[in-house]
């Protein structure tokens, strides 16, 4: 029976009070989400749960009928939060599946974004295999946008047992995430961080210019591996230049493992029908028990600020929620358990105007994403502070040494007072 529908009347599927989920990041099913926004008044008040967002589909005025929820403030979510239109439910990425399965996070309707049928005659999840399948298993209704421009990836088996109520055809470009040119500060940070990444390391990288800059500095390495929550253009470039072979990974040997692809058409073309790309759900990519099996695992993440003892704030700046707990703690703790594992948190020493230090005596917001007991290596453009196993006094000395010179005296004074 053909379940395809040419025009989308969502009021047929969505009821007032429902909670709707859809793919995050660059995998948003725009035809479905735009229809939801346009038809929200006819549907009635509902809730939507989103991940990081890079489209302008949702606007603050849409809160007239939509309660918007997320676990993060990344991308366009920053604007929604600043306008009071977004509620944050903090969660590690590894926890989302469990919260869905136990019903703590409600789900009634799921929008999937699928590729056309591939070599095996089945649709695939395309560029995102995050937590949507876990949501779809509990949903009353599952609608799938089948996009002619979505690359086919080896994720079709994930759809086994999922009942899709209707297919909506589309033919539109995927969202692209363009990163700016690497600046001098980022190059220096990348140079300092790369000293901890050796041949045969298995890499995880967070979102942003600094993790991408670090990856770009690794083209002379050999036999690197990748196991990450998100993969961008720089990660694919390392595969294509031969620096990444995944030949020495303890698990998923020969394959680049990721949950979501976030980049440009160049990345999406790389992914299409690529047997060496292993897109897995967050319950796998972010599981500490899985990460711990990977020898020489190196987690590379960024931060808003780090205090003198190694506590990391990656979520809030000036009272605004702009980041996420996300996968940082998952990968940091997995790295601590892996044989020869390292966790790198890299950030500029100051804000862009050089007036405010991002190495701080105390995290003013009180928000701690990563505990000081999980701290390993903190990197700025001024050097690297290895904190694991060090006393509080020694940690403070090392952190002050990688702060901007203009702020070191003030930090030393505050450290003495503490």
| pLDDT for 330 beyond 90 | yes
Tell me the three state secondary structure of residue 72.
Answer: strand
**Pairing mode, strands 377-380 and 383-386:** antiparallel
State the average pLDDT over residues 158-169. 96
pLDDT for 382: 98
pLDDT at residue 5 is higher than 70: no
The per-residue pLDDT for 355 is 84
What pLDDT is attached to residue 412? Answer: 95
* pLDDT value for 402: 98
Q: What is the structure's pLDDT at 297?
A: 98
Same-fold call for 10-170 versus 184-417: yes
The yes-or-no verdict on residue 2 having pLDDT over 80 is no
Share of the chain above pLDDT 90, in %: 89
Whether residue 258 has pLDDT greater than 70: yes
Structure confidence at residue 319 (pLDDT): 81
Q: What does the DSSP 8-state code read for residue 304? A: S
Q: Are strands 277-279 and 305-307 parallel, antiparallel or unpaired?
A: unpaired
pLDDT tens digits, residue range 365-417? 889 999 999 999 999 999 999 999 999 999 999 999 999 999 999 999 999 88
DSSP conformation letters of 175-224 = P--PPPPPPHHHHHHHHHHHTT--TT-EEEE-SSHHHHHHHHTTTT--SB
Average pLDDT of the chain? 94
pLDDT, average across residues 197-226: 93
Task: Give the pLDDT of residue 317.
Answer: 86
DSSP string, 320-334: EE-SB-BTHHHHHHH
For residue 385, give the H/E element and its range. strand 383-386
**Structure tokens of 241?**
């230049």
Percent of the chain with pLDDT over 70: 99
52-58: list long-range contacts, CB under 8 Å, 24+ apart: 52/24, 52/25, 52/77, 52/207, 52/324, 53/24, 53/25, 53/28, 53/77, 53/80, 54/25, 54/26, 54/28, 54/175, 54/177, 54/262, 55/28, 55/30, 55/175, 57/28, 57/30, 57/33, 58/33, 58/85
Answer yes or no: is pLDDT of 34 > 90. Answer: yes
Tell me what pLDDT residue 104 has.
95
Task: Give pLDDT tens digits for 53-69.
Answer: 999 999 999 999 999 99
Question: For residue 1, what pLDDT band results from cuts at 50, 70 and 90?
Answer: very low
Annotated domain spans of the chain: 10-170, 184-417
- Assigned CATH topology for domain 10-170: Glutaconate Coenzyme A-transferase (3.40.1080)
**Which pLDDT belongs to residue 354?**
77
pLDDT (0 to 100) of residue 388: 97
Query: Which pLDDT score is estimated for 29?
Result: 97
Model pTM?
Answer: 0.95
Fold of the 184-417 domain: Glutaconate Coenzyme A-transferase (3.40.1080)
């Amino acid at each position: 029976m053909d379940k395809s529908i040419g025009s989308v009347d969502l009021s047929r599927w969505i009821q007032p009070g429902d909670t709707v989920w859809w793919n995050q990041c660059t995998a948003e099913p725009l035809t479905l989400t735009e229809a939801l926004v346009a038809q929200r008044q006819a549907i009635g008040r509902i809730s939507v749960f989103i991940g990081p967002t890079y489209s302008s589909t949702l606007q603050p005025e849409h809160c007239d009928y939509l309660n918007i929820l997320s676990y993060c403030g990344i991308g366009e979510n920053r604007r929604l939060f600043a306008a009071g239109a977004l509620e944050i439910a903090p969660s590690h990425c590894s926890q989302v599946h469990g919260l869905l399965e136990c019903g703590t996070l409600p789900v009634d309707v799921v929008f999937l974004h699928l590729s056309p049928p591939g070599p095996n005659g089945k649709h695939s999840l395309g560029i995102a295999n995050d937590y949507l399948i876990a949501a779809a298993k509990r949903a009353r209704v599952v609608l799938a946008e089948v996009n002619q421009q979505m690359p086919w990836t080896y994720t079709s088996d994930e759809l086994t047992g999922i009942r899709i109520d209707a297919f909506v055809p589309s033919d539109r470009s995927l969202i692209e995430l363009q990163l700016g040119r690497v600046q001098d500060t980022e190059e220096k940070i990348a140079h300092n961080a790369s000293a901890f990444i050796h041949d045969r390391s298995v890499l995880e990288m967070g979102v942003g210019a600094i993790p991408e800059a670090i990856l770009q500095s690794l083209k002379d390495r050999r036999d690197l591996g990748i196991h990450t929550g998100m993969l961008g253009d720089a990660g694919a470039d390392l595969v294509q230049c031969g620096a990444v072979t995944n030949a020495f990974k303890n698990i998923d040997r020969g394959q680049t493992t990721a949950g979501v692809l976030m980049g440009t058409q160049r990345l999406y073309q790389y992914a299409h029908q690529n047997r060496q790309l292993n897109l897995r759900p967050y319950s796998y990519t972010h599981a500490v028990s899985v990460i711990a099996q990977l020898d020489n695992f190196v987690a590379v993440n960024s931060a808003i600020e780090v205090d003198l003892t190694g506590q990391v704030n990656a979520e809030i700046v000036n009272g605004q929620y702009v980041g996420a707990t996300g996968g940082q703690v998952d990968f940091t703790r997995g790295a601590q358990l892996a044989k020869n594992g390292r966790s790198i948190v890299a950030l500029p020493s100051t804000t862009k105007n050089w007036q405010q230090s991002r190495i701080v005596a105390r995290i003013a917001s009180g928000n701690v994403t990563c505990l000081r007991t999980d701290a390993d290596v903190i990197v700025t453009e001024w050097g690297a502070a290895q904190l694991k196993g060090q006393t509080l006094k020694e940690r403070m000395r090392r952190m002050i040494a990688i702060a901007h010179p203009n702020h070191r005296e003030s930090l030393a004074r505050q450290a003495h007072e503490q």
